[in-house]
C-alpha cells in the first residue's frame, strides 16, 4: 500500500485526498483538499488535462462497483472545476460529457439530482466555438441532453416520478443557455424540448387555466412597464419553492406544471429572432402532429407563448407561421397553421410593436392568390375555406391599429392586388377560380369596413382616391386585359359586388355622421367619421378636373357606351351615386354637369343611349332635390328654379314615350320626335341666378373622357389640359375643333339681377351669356365673344368688388352666412382692372396663361404686374380662338 502511494502522480494524490473514507452514499469532498486541487488544476493546462482524465477513469471504476458516495464527490469536483477553469472548458468538455453520461446510466435518482446541478453549471459555461468547431463534442453533448430529457418520458410512474420529471425539466431549462451557439444544434435542442413541455401542460392544464395565466402575464408586463419592482415577483417565489421541494424530495404535480411553464417562457422570452422563429414553428408543428392536443387548445397555448416574447419581436411569430403555411401542401396542415395565425391576430391580449402590416398583408394576399391561380390539390370548397381564413387574418390585422395610415395602406394593398389579378397575363387559372378570388378579396375589404364601423380608434381614413385603381372593374367587359377567362355572368357579379363594397365604404368610412334630413347650417369639418366633403372644392374636386369623381364618371361613360349594362347593375350604380351626392354635394355636381350634357338622348335611340339618358336624368333629379337640404345658403332656390321643372317635364316625356329605361320591355315603340333636352342655356340660367352656385359651378365646363393616370397619385398642384392632345373634349352641339371654356365669373356680366331674386318670365331675348356664346347650328361654330365688351368688363369689376373675396375657410361660418368665395378669384384684395394689359396681350397674339394657383395658396405669383387682371385665376381659353370668331375688325378692336 505504501509502495502504491509512493509511485502516484501528484494530481492523482490530490484527487484521491478529496474523497472521504467510508461507503456512505451522501459523501462530500474534503474542502481543503478540493481547494488545493482546484488551484493545482488551474495553474497549467497540462495539469488540468491530467486531472480530468483521472477523474473520468475513477468515475468508470466507481460506477462499475456502484460506489454512489464516490460518484457524488466526483460530481462536485467536476462542477467546481468547470467554474474555476471555465476559460479552458474546451480542454475537458469531452470528459465532462463522459462522466455525466456514465453516472446517469446508473439510473439512481440521488445521483441524477446532483448530476443535473453539474449539467447546469456545464451549460452556463459552454461557448459557441465548442458547437461550431468540435463536431465530436456536439454529438456527445446532444446525446447527454437527450438522456436527461428522456427521463421525463420513461419514468412517469413509481415513487420518484416527479423527481425524474423535474430532472428532465431542469435539463430543458439549462439547455436553453446553449441555444444560439449553432443554428443546427439550436433546432435540435428545441425539437427535443418543446414536445415534453407541451405534453405536461396539455395533460395537466385546461384551456381556461391557460387563459387565466395569460391574463396574469399581461398584468405582470404592465407592472414592469409602469414601475421598477423592488420586491420579489410571484415567479421568483415559485422558483424558490420548487427548488426547496426538489431538495427535500417533496415535489408535487403543481411543481412539475409550474416548472414546465417556466421552461416555456425561457424559450420564448428571448431577443434572438431565429430562436423565436424556430420555437413558434416547433410548437405549432407539435400541436398539429399530436393527436391529444385540441386545435382550440393549441391556439390558446400559442397565444400564451407569444405573450412571453418581447413585444417588439412578436411579429416574428407571424412570419414563422406564414412561412410554414406557404410550404404546406396538405389542406389539413395549412388549415391548422391558418387557424393558429388567425388566433394570434384575433387575440386582444397579444399586442405587437414594429409589425410590418403591409408586408404581412402582401404575404396573405399571395397565399390567397396562389390558392386559386396556381395548380394545387385543393378542392374549390377547401380553397374557399382557406381563403376565408386569410381574409379574416387581414381583417383582424388591419383593424388592430398600430399606426395612423394602417387602414388606408391595407385597403390599398388589397385593391392593387385585385387590379393585378384582373390585368394578369396568366391564363392558367379558370374563370371560376379568378371569379372566386376577386369576390373573396372584395369580401375582405367589406369585412374591414364593417369592423371599423364599430371602432372609434384614432386613425387616418380611407379616401376616395384609394379606390381610383379599382374603377376599371366597371369596364371589365371593355378592357378585360388578362381576365378574358371571365364570363359575362362573372363580370356582372363582380361589378355588383364591387359597388356593394364601395357602398359599404361610403356608408361606414367616408360619410359624416350627421342628420341628412336637416339642412347644413355650416360647412366646418366637424364630422365624427372624417372630413366634411360638402365643403366646396374640398380635395380640389372642383378646381382640378382630373379627380376621382371625374374618373368615376368617365368609367361610367365607357360602361354605357361600349356595352349594355344590366338593370340591376344600373340600379346599384344609381344607389352609389346618390350616396356620393349626399356626401360630396356641389363637388360632385361640378364634375357631373359636362357628363350630363353628353349623356342626354340625341337622334340615336339605342338601348345604350337610353340607359345613359335615364341614368343622367335620374342623377340630375336627385341632385336638384338634395341641394337645398345640403346648403342652407341656397334658401330653397333649387326646387323653385326653372331647371327643376324642366327636368321633371323631360323625365315625364321620356316615360310617356317609351324612352325611359323602365318602359323598354313594356313598349318597344318610341316616338319619332326628338325628346326634350336640358340645354346648356338652361343650366347656365340656373347657375347664374344664384350667388353661391355661380362661384362653384361651371356650366360650360369641358367634357374630358380620358384619364390622366399621373393624377391618380395624389398631386396638390392643379393642372388643366393644355391641348386636345392631352385630353378629349366632347361637346354634343359643337365642333371638336373649337374648345370654349368660360369660367363662371365670365358669366357675371350677363345677369343684371345677380344680387336680386331670379327674374321671372324668361324668354329667348334675355341677355344671358348663353345667348352671346351660343352655338350657331347652321354654321356649327361658336359666336361667343369671350370676356365681353368694355362695358362688360366694368360689370365684372363692379360685381367682384361687391362680393368680397374672402378666404374660403372664412366664408362658411357656423351661422351659415352667404358664401362669396370662388375658386376662380382667391385674393382677399383686388386692385382696379387694367384693360391695357388685356389689349397688350391680344395685340401681341399672346394667350392667357393657364392657372398656376394651388387651392390653399392665397398669394399667387403675379405676372406681368401686381395690378394686372392677368393675375386673376380664371379658367380661360386661348384668345386666338376667340378672335377667329369675330366678324369684323371693329369687334376685334373692342373685344378685350
pLDDT attached to residue 751: 34
- Residue 132 pLDDT > 60: yes
Q: 695-726, pLDDT tens digit by residue?
A: 898 888 888 878 877 666 433 332 323 333 33
pLDDT attached to residue 799: 53
Instruction: Read off the pLDDT of each residue in 746-764 and give the average, rounded to a whole number.
Output: 33
For the chain, give the percent of residues with pLDDT over 70.
71
Q: How many residues does the chain have?
A: 896
Q: Which residue has the higher pLDDT, 772 or 541?
A: 541
Of the pLDDT bands very low, low, confident and very high (cuts 50, 70, 90), residue 639 is very high
pLDDT attached to residue 428: 62
**Is 570 within the bounds of a domain?**
no
Q: Which residue has the higher pLDDT, 660 or 765?
A: 660
**Closest to 502 in 3D by CA, of 573, 556, 408, 438:** 573
Of the pLDDT bands very low, low, confident and very high (cuts 50, 70, 90), residue 737 is very low
pLDDT attached to residue 895: 45
Of the pLDDT bands very low, low, confident and very high (cuts 50, 70, 90), residue 674 is low
- Per-residue DSSP letters for 134-191? -HHHHHHHHHHHHHHHHHHHH--SSTTHHHHHHHHHHHHHHHGGGTTS-HHHHHHHHH
**Is 92 within the bounds of a domain?**
yes
> Do 670 and 593 touch, CB atoms closer than 8 A?
no
- Per-residue DSSP letters for 702-722? PPB-S--GGGGS---S-----
**Closest to 731 in 3D by CA, of 701, 770, 709:** 701
Please give the C-alpha separations between residue 796 and each of 750, 787, 868, in angstroms, as whole numbers: 10, 9, 14
Least confident of 266-275, 452-461, 512-521, 848-857: 848-857
- Please report how many Cα atoms fall inside a 13 Å half-sphere around the Cα of residue 422, on the Cβ side: 28
Return the number of other C-beta atoms located less than 10 Å from residue 73's C-beta.
23
**CA 517/CA 536 separation, integer angstroms:** 20
Per mean pLDDT, which of 571-580, 795-804, 816-825 is the most reliable? Answer: 571-580
Listed in sequence order, the DSSP H helices in 176-272 are 183-204, 207-226, 234-247, 253-268
**Is 106 within the bounds of a domain?**
yes
Of the pLDDT bands very low, low, confident and very high (cuts 50, 70, 90), residue 875 is very low
pLDDT attached to residue 788: 46
For the chain, give the percent of residues with pLDDT over 90.
42
Q: 276-299, pLDDT tens digit by residue?
A: 999 999 999 998 888 777 899 999
Please give the C-alpha separations between residue 86 and each of 7, 11, 168, in angstroms, as whole numbers: 31, 19, 24
Of the pLDDT bands very low, low, confident and very high (cuts 50, 70, 90), residue 482 is very low
Letter string b/e over residues 644-671, b meaning 16 or more CB atoms within 10 A of that residue's CB: bebbeebbeebeebbbbbebbeeeeebe
Which helix (H) or strand (E) is 625 found in, with range?
Answer: helix 607-630
Grid cell at residue 82: 468547470
Which helix (H) or strand (E) is 842 found in, with range?
Answer: helix 835-843
Q: 615-624, pLDDT tens digit by residue?
A: 899 999 999 9
- Residue 692 pLDDT > 60: yes
Q: Which residue has the higher pLDDT, 271 or 355?
A: 271
pLDDT attached to residue 881: 47
**Is 410 within the bounds of a domain?**
no
Q: 8-58, pLDDT tens digit by residue?
A: 688 788 898 999 888 888 888 998 999 999 999 988 899 999 999 999 999
Return the number of other C-beta atoms located less than 10 Å from residue 173's C-beta.
21
Least confident of 192-206, 716-730, 787-801: 716-730
Mean pLDDT estimate for the chain: 77
**Closest to 258 in 3D by CA, of 294, 289, 234, 287:** 234
pLDDT attached to residue 289: 87
**Is 840 within the bounds of a domain?**
no
**CA 682/CA 696 separation, integer angstroms:** 17
**Is 88 within the bounds of a domain?**
yes
State which residues form the domain around 46.
Answer: 1-125
Phi, psi of 79 (to 5 degrees): -60, -45
**Is 7 within the bounds of a domain?**
yes
**Is 877 within the bounds of a domain?**
no
**CA 774/CA 543 separation, integer angstroms:** 24
Number of H helices, E strands in the chain: 36, 2
> Do 701 and 593 touch, CB atoms closer than 8 A?
yes
- Residue 134 pLDDT > 70: yes
**Structural domain count of the chain:** 1
**CA 261/CA 424 separation, integer angstroms:** 50
Of the pLDDT bands very low, low, confident and very high (cuts 50, 70, 90), residue 486 is confident
**Closest to 678 in 3D by CA, of 596, 754, 760, 747:** 596
Grid cell at residue 741: 371654356
Please give the C-alpha separations between residue 295 and each of 64, 237, 283, 299, in angstroms, as whole numbers: 49, 33, 12, 6
Amino acid at each position: 500500500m505504501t509502495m502504491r502511494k509512493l509511485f502516484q502522480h501528484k494530481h492523482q494524490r490530490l484527487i484521491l485526498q478529496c474523497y472521504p473514507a467510508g461507503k456512505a452514499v451522501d459523501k462530500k469532498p474534503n474542502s481543503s483538499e478540493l481547494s488545493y486541487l482546484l488551484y493545482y488544476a488551474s495553474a497549467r493546462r497540462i495539469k488540468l488535462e491530467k486531472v480530468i482524465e483521472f477523474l473520468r477513469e475513477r468515475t468508470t471504476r466507481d460506477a462499475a462497483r456502484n460506489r454512489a458516495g464516490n460518484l457524488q464527490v466526483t460530481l462536485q469536483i467536476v462542477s467546481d472545476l468547470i467554474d474555476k477553469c471555465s476559460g479552458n472548458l474546451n480542454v475537458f468538455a469531452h470528459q465532462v460529457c463522459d462522466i455525466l453520461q456514465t453516472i446517469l446510466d446508473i439510473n439512481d435518482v440521488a445521483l441524477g439530482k446532483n448530476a443535473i446541478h453539474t449539467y447546469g453549471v456545464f451549460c452556463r459555461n459552454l461557448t459557441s466555438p465548442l458547437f461550431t468547431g468540435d463536431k465530436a463534442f456536439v454529438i456527445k453533448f446532444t446525446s447527454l441532453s437527450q438522456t436527461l430529457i428522456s427521463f421525463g418520458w420513461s419514468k412517469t410512474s413509481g415513487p420518484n416520478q416527479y423527481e425524474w420529471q423535474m430532472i428532465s425539466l431542469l435539463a430543458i431549462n439549462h439547455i436553453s443557455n446553449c441555444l444560439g451557439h449553432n443554428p443546427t444544434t439550436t433546432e435540435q435542442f428545441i425539437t427535443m424540448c418543446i414536445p415534453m413541455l407541451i405534453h405536461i401542460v396539455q395533460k395537466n392544464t385546461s384551456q381556461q387555466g391557460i387563459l387565466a395565466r395569460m391574463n396574469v402575464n399581461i398584468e405582470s408586463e404592465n407592472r414592469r412597464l409602469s414601475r421598477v419592482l423592488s420586491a420579489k415577483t410571484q415567479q421568483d417565489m415559485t422558483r424558490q419553492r420548487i427548488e426547496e421541494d426538489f431538495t427535500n424530495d417533496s415535489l408535487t404535480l403543481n411543481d412539475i406544471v409550474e416548472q414546465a411553464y417556466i421552461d416555456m417562457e425561457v424559450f420564448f422570452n428571448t431577443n434572438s429572432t431565429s430562436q423565436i422563429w424556430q420555437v413558434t414553428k416547433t410548437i405549432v408543428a407539435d400541436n398539429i402532429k399530436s393527436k391529444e392536443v385540441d386545435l382550440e387548445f393549441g391556439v390558446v397555448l400559442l397565444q400564451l407563448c407569444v405573450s412571453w416574447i418581447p413585444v417588439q419581436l412578436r411579429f416574428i411569430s407571424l412570419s414563422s407561421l406564414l412561412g410554414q403555411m406557404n410550404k404546406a401542401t396538405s389542406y389539413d396542415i395549412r388549415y391548422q397553421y391558418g387557424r393558429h395565425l388567425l388566433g394570434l391576430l384575433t387575440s386582444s391580449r397579444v399586442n405587437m410593436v414594429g409589425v410590418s402590416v403591409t408586408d404581412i398583408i402582401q404575404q396573405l394576399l399571395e397565399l390567397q392568390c396562389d390558392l386559386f391561380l396556381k395548380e394545387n390539390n385543393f378542392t374549390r370548397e377547401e380553397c374557399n375555406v382557406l381563403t376565408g381564413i386569410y381574409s379574416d387574418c387581414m381583417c383582424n390585422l388591419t383593424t388592430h391599429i398600430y399606426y395612423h395610415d394602417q387602414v388606408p395602406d391595407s385597403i390599398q394593398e388589397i385593391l392593387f392586388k385585385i387590379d393585378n389579378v384582373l390585368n394578369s397575363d396568366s391564363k392558367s387559372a379558370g374563370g371560376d377560380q379568378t371569379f372566386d378570388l376577386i369576390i373573396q378579396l372584395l369580401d375582405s375589404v367589406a369585412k374591414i369596413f364593417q369592423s371599423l364601423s364599430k371602432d372609434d380608434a384614432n386613425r387616418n381614413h380611407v379616401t376616395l382616391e384609394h379606390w381610383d385603381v379599382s374603377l376599371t372593374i366597371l369596364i371589365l367587359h371593355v378592357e378585360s386585359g388578362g381576365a378574358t377567362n371571365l364570363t359575362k355572368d362573372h363580370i356582372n357579379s363582380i361589378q355588383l359586388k364591387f359597388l356593394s363594397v364601395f357602398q359599404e365604404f361610403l356608408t361606414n368610412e367616408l360619410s359624416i355622421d350627421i342628420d341628412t334630413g336637416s339642412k347644413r347650417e355650416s360647412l366646418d369639418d366637424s364630422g365624427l367619421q372624417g372630413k366634411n366633403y360638402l365643403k366646396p372644392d374640398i380635395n380640389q374636386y372642383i378646381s382640378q378636373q382630373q379627380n376621382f369623381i371625374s374618373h368615376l364618371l368617365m368609367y361610367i361613360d365607357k360602361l354605357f357606351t361600349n356595352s349594355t349594362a344590366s338593370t340591376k347593375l344600373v340600379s346599384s350604380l344609381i344607389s352609389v351615386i346618390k350616396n356620393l351626392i349626399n356626401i360630396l354635394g356641389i363637388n360632385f355636381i361640378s364634375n357631373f354637369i359636362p357628363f350630363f350634357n353628353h349623356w342626354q338622348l340625341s337622334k340615336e335611340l339605342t338601348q345604350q343611349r337610353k340607359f345613359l339618358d335615364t341614368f343622367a336624368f335620374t342623377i340630375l333629379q336627385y341632385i336638384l332635390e338634395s341641394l337645398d337640404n345640403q346648403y342652407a345658403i341656397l334658401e330653397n332656390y333649387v326646387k323653385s328654379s326653372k331647371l327643376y321643372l324642366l327636368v321633371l317635364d323631360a323625365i315625364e316625356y321620356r316615360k310617356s314615350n317609351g324612352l325611359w329605361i323602365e318602359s323598354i320591355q313594356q313598349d318597344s315603340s318610341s316616338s319619332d320626335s326628338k325628346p326634350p333636352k336640358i340645354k346648356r342655356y338652361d343650366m347656365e340660367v340656373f347657375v347664374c341666378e344664384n350667388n353661391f352656385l355661380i362661384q362653384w359651378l361651371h356650366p360650360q365646363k369641358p367634357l374630358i373622357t380620358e384619364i390622366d393616370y399621373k393624377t391618380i397619385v395624389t398631386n396638390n398642384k392643379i393642372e388643366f389640359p393644355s391641348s386636345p392632345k392631352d385630353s378629349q373634349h366632347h361637346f354634343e352641339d359643337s365642333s371638336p375643333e373649337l374648345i370654349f371654356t368660360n369660367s363662371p365669373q365670365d358669366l357675371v356680366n350677363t345677369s343684371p339681377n345677380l344680387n336680386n331674386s331670379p327674374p321671372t318670365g324668361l324668354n329667348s331675348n334675355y341677355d344671358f351669356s348663353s345667348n352671346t356664346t351660343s352655338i350657331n347650328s347652321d354654321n356649327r361654330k361658336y359666336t361667343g365673344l369671350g370676356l365681353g365688351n368694355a362695358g362688360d368688363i366694368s360689370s365684372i369689376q363692379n360685381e367682384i368688388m361687391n362680393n368680397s373675396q374672402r378666404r374660403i375657410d372664412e366664408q362658411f361660418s357656423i351661422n351659415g352666412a352667404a358664401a362669396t368665395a370662388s375658386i376662380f378669384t382667391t385674393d382677399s384684395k383686388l386692385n382696379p382692372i387694367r384693360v391695357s394689359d388685356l389689349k397688350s396681350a391680344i395685340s401681341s397674339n399672346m394667350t392667357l396663361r393657364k392657372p398656376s394657383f394651388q387651392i390653399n395658396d392665397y398669394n399667387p405669383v403675379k405676372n406681368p404686374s401686381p395690378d394686372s387682371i392677368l393675375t386673376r385665376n380664371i379658367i380661360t381659353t386661348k384668345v386666338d380662338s376667340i378672335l377667329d370668331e369675330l366678324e369684323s375688325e371693329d369687334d376685334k378692336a373692342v373685344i378685350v
